[in-house]
Amino acid sequence: MFSTKEIPSASSLFATYASMTASVMLVRTVVNDLVPSPLRVYAHSAFRHFFKIRSSDLTLIIEDNNNISRNQIYDAAEVYLSTKISPNTERLRICKTPKEKKITIRLEKGEKIIDSFQGITFKWRFIHSEAEKNHPHDMYPSRSEKRSFELSFPKKHKDLVFDSYVPFILEEAKVIKDEQRVLRMFTLNTSHCYGGGGGIRWDSINLEHPSTFETLAMEPDLKNVVMEDLNRFVRRKDFYKRVGRAWKRGYLLYGPPGTGKSSLVAAMANYLKFDIYDLQLANIMRDSDLRRLLLSTGNRSILVIEDIDCSVDLPDRRSGDELQRFDDHFQQSKAPGTRSGDKAESSGAKGQFNAQLTLSGLLNFIDGLWSSCGDERIIIFTTNHKERLDPALLRPGRMDMHIHMSYCTPHGFKLLAANYLGISGEHSLYGEIESLIETTEVTPAQVAGELMKSEDADVALGELVNLLKRKKLEGDGVVDEAAGTTTTNQEVGIKKLAKRQKTENTKPRKYNGRKRTTRKKL
């Protein structure tokens, strides 16, 4: 603190400043005259080198692209940092496109985020700048946006950042993106094909099937085996490459109608976050179409062919005349007044005329070109009649896993009761239901149907008891839905055994067009 007396006057301050400036200029003139220029420059830079204040931090610049392709680290950081927004953040950008499930949150320019990883603090800053691009031939300069992140951290952790932190962000972003990903369900659009211009092509809608492994009534051991198999498949990219196999896996789901085959396909898609391509072979007439369609499927997808036993006939290749007749027939069936969507009708027509599509052709293509041109492909066939399938489909290595979806068990029933009625513990009717289920072949779909009849657990379970008793009363037997006949338990056993023996002894007959009146879709 100065006393009033000690405060220097403005004129004395000016005089001091003027004399100092004069001295500095004098020294500079003397040095310039006496010291040669190169030596002067060297001395100057050496002085700056030794006396500059050094930062202990390293800053990495992560730009959004390198002018050719996107920078994966930038994209991952953008996703990762959107989960690290702190209460201090002042400006954010939000967006939601029709195809997105959730609102996307991104940082606004200049915003900072503090993150910590393995006890180390990382400072992130989002930079968004606009630069003018001046090309020699452009009359008007265009503006280009540059987005980047600055990542600052103590220099000594440089290796940790490259070896652990950045890979961690890439992995985390993948998980977050998978969670947010809206799955698509692709089906065939035939409206433009065969004379209508264009060709058969995939159309997609959001896949909003709610089936998951939690909601599936399946024996826990089987469920675990399937989930573990899927996990192993997705994490073994390097393995498949090393052993020279295409990164694909095939599943055959078989069992009576209403046992959850389609639900399992949806559960697998939801679990892996894979899109579904529902290939209705009945709509494909030419190998060339099939090839084009399969090649246009995306990676990380499940290709499903439902009811493989009835959707493909395997005739010998027929003459071109017959193919022409088929095309004519197809055009007629699309004429007004005909039921073009009738599955029985179209499969009958196909069985009669289709000459170009064969199951072995399909399998060869799937084994060959298609499987090797993409990554993370799953193919699933479903059938109610495994014994009717062509041996080519069942030969080792073609379908990696055969999954039998069977009738409801006491465990499956309890899971459905918990899901549909919210019963968490026991119920007075459980004992009776469980013993009835053990001795009656009832599908999970039938059980679910009864449980949906009332929100009142007592009423719904009462309905289920009635159904089970009715089934028992029908001659202590079961309804063999696949055959559409009622048989006794013993006969079912005998019939199954007979079928199996027949299958083992003889080549399965080619089954052409099993007709079903109702068709459940994914």
Residues that bind Mg ion (CB under 5 A): 261-262
Query: Which of Mg ion, ligand ATP, none does residue 294 bind (CB under 5 to 8 Å by kind)?
Result: none
CA distances, 167 to each of 19, 151, 419 (Å): 61, 14, 39
Q: What is d(CA 256, CA 340) in angstroms, rounded to the nearest whole number?
A: 27
Q: What is d(CA 425, CA 23) in angstroms, rounded to the nearest whole number?
A: 94
Residues numbered 7 to 66 that lie near ligand ATP (CB under 6 A) are none
In the list 166, 183, 217, 403, the residue contacting ligand ATP (rule: CB under 6 A) is: 217
In the list 448, 460, 464, 478, the residue contacting ligand ATP (rule: CB under 6 A) is: 448
Strand bridging mode 401-404 / 301-305: unpaired
Residue of 342, 378, 344 lying closest to 253 (CA atoms):
378
Residue of 132, 128, 169, 166 lying closest to 149 (CA atoms):
128
* Interface size with ligand ATP, residues (CB under 6 A): 17
Nearer to ligand ATP, 377 or 414 (CB): 414
Nearer to ligand ATP, 73 or 415 (CB): 415
The distance of closest approach from Cβ of residue 310 to ligand ATP in the complex, given in angstroms and rounded to an integer, is: 11
Q: Determine the residue with CB nearest Mg ion.
A: 262
Q: What is d(CA 300, CA 237) in angstroms, rounded to the nearest whole number?
A: 12
Query: Which of ligand ATP, Mg ion, none does residue 216 bind (CB under 5 to 8 Å by kind)?
Result: ligand ATP
Nearer to ligand ATP, 48 or 521 (CB): 521
The distance of closest approach from Cβ of residue 220 to ligand ATP in the complex, given in angstroms and rounded to an integer, is: 12
Nearer to ligand ATP, 79 or 308 (CB): 308
The distance of closest approach from Cβ of residue 169 to ligand ATP in the complex, given in angstroms and rounded to an integer, is: 38
**What is the per-residue binding string for ligand ATP in 249-288, x denoting contact by CB under 6 A?**
--------xxxxxxx-------------------------
In the list 216, 305, 380, 433, the residue contacting ligand ATP (rule: CB under 6 A) is: 216
Residue of 406, 405, 408 lying closest to 449 (CA atoms):
408
Residue 97 amino acid letter: T
Strand order from edge to edge, sheet including 120-133: 57-63, 142-154, 120-133, 112-117
Residue 392 amino acid letter: A
Strand order from edge to edge, sheet including 201-206: 201-206, 184-189, 275-278, 301-305, 377-383, 248-254, 401-404
On whether the CB atoms of residues 119 and 112 are closer than 8 A, the answer is no
Residue of 311, 330, 334 lying closest to 322 (CA atoms):
330
Query: Which of Mg ion, ligand ATP, none does residue 217 bind (CB under 5 to 8 Å by kind)?
Result: ligand ATP
Residues numbered 382 to 401 that lie near ligand ATP (CB under 6 A) are 384
Stretch that binds ligand ATP, among 310-318, 392-400, 441-449, 465-473 (CB under 6 A): 441-449
User: What's the sign of the alpha-carbon dihedral 66, 69, 73, 76?
Assistant: positive
Q: Is 444 in the site for ligand ATP (CB under 6 A)?
A: yes
Query: Which of Mg ion, ligand ATP, none does residue 444 bind (CB under 5 to 8 Å by kind)?
Result: ligand ATP
**What is the per-residue binding string for ligand ATP in 349-388, x denoting contact by CB under 6 A?**
-----------------------------------x----
User: What's the sign of the alpha-carbon dihedral 486, 492, 498, 499?
Assistant: positive
Q: Is 303 in the site for ligand ATP (CB under 6 A)?
A: no
Nearer to ligand ATP, 250 or 260 (CB): 260
The distance of closest approach from Cβ of residue 258 to ligand ATP in the complex, given in angstroms and rounded to an integer, is: 5
On whether the CB atoms of residues 63 and 148 are closer than 8 A, the answer is yes
**What is the per-residue binding string for ligand ATP in 462-491, x denoting contact by CB under 6 A?**
------------------------------
Q: What is d(CA 207, CA 39) in angstroms, rounded to the nearest whole number?
A: 74
On whether the CB atoms of residues 300 and 294 are closer than 8 A, the answer is no
Residue of 186, 211, 206 lying closest to 268 (CA atoms):
211
Nearer to ligand ATP, 212 or 352 (CB): 212
Q: Which residues bind ligand ATP (CB under 6 A)?
A: 215-218, 257-263, 384, 405, 444-445, 448, 520
